[in-house]
């Protein structure tokens, strides 16, 4: 089940974030974003196992963060969260969705490509130890 995030979910979200990224966001970033309309969690048997955060900027939707608990990957949860974001973007009449992904993360790029995203730019030194690819898809 995908539902809006609340402060009660943040301990688990922060745990997943730390297991997922070499430079995880500080917990205060999540606390400051929890009221955002585009912060959703994926709940499985009453446990939060993934999350997505996106924001609409004029007619564009920016996916800021997406992550799934390592024990629950490769089961389609990341795809469900992406599809959910695509559906929300269509309902909000956005024209395009974009995100940044580490250049070294070829598997993650493959997942985005499967969902219709294409590489549109390279952002040098975007991450502390990697470049980013900007990926976009029309809604
Ligand atoms: C990227 C991420 C969110 C993907 O989440 P996920 O839940 O594993 O994604 P999915 O299961 O939908 O898709 C992953 C793979 O599983 C496959 N898959 C999808 N549904 C499946 C199912 N029901 N059963 C088995 N495999 C499935 C997909 O085809 C995909 O395969 P691929 O390796 O051939 O591309 C997750 O790997 C993650 O949290 N990574 C660390 C954080 C990160 O890098 N975030 C992205 C920042 S840009």
pLDDT in tens, 4-15: 999 999 999 999
Q: CA–CA separation, 49 vs 128, rounded Å?
A: 27
Residues 4-54: tens digit of each pLDDT: 999 999 999 999 999 999 899 999 999 999 999 999 999 999 999 999 999
Supply 113's token pair: 């490509």
Residue 129 confidence (pLDDT) = 87
Supply 21's token pair: 């990224």
Pocket test for ligand 1, best of 25, 75, 134 (most atoms within 8 A of CB): 75
CATH number at residue 69: 3.40.630.30
User: In total, how many domains does the chain have?
Assistant: 1
* Residue-range definition of the domain harbouring residue 132: 2-138
Pocket of ligand 1 (CB under 6 A): 20, 66-68, 73-79, 101, 105, 107-108, 110-111, 114
Backbone angles phi, psi at 8, to 5 degrees: -65, -25
Pocket test for ligand 1, best of 68, 72, 136 (most atoms within 8 A of CB): 68
């Amino acid at each position: 089940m995908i539902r809006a995030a609340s402060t009660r979910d943040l301990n688990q979200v922060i745990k997943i974030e730390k297991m997922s990224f070499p430079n995880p966001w500080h917990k205060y970033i999540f606390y400051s974003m929890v009221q955002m309309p585009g912060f959703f969690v994926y709940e499985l048997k009453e446990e939060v196992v993934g999350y997505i955060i996106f924001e609409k900027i004029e007619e564009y939707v920016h996916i800021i963060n997406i992550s799934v608990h390592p024990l629950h990957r490769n089961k389609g949860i990341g795809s469900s969260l992406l599809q959910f974001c695509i559906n929300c973007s269509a309902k909000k009449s956005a024209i395009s969705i974009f995100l940044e992904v580490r250049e070294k993360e070829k598997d993650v790029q493959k997942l985005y490509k499967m969902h219709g995203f294409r590489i549109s730019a390279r952002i040098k030194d975007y991450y502390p130890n990697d470049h980013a690819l900007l990926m976009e898809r029309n809604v």
